A and B are shown apart, each in its own frame.
Chain A
Amino acid sequence: ETGVTQSPTHLIKTRGQQVTLRCSSQSGHNTVSWYQQALGQGPQFIFQYYREEENGRGNFPPRFSGLQFPNYSSELNVNALELDDSALYLCASSDTGSNQPQHFGDGTRLSIL
Chain B
Amino acid sequence: EDQVTQSPEALRLQEGESSSLNCSYTVSGLRGLFWYRQDPGKGPEFLFTLYSAGEEKEKERLKATLTKKESFLHITAPKPEDSATYLCAVQAGGGSQGNLIFGKGTKLSVKP
Chain A interface (Cβ < 8 Å from any Cβ of B): 4, 31, 33, 35, 40-45, 47-48, 50, 55-56, 58, 90, 92, 94, 97-107
Contacts and interface: CB of A to CB of B under 8 A. Distances in A.
A4 B42 CA distance: 12
Interface in B92-112: 95-105
A45 B43 contact: no
Contacts of B104: 40-42
A44 B102 CA distance: 7
Contact of A101 (B4, B46, B87): B46
Nearest to A9: B41
Contacts, number: 77
Contacts of B100: 33, 35, 43, 45, 102
B34 interface: yes
A107 B95 contact: no
B99 A58 contact: yes
Interface in B57-105: 87, 89, 91, 95-105
A48 to B, nearest CB: 3
B75 to A, nearest CB: 19
Contacts of A104: 36, 43-46
Interface string B8-46: 000000000000000000000001101010000111111
A101 B34 contact: yes
Contacts of B102: 42-44
A31 B32 CA distance: 17
Contacts of A92: 43, 98
B98 A102 contact: yes
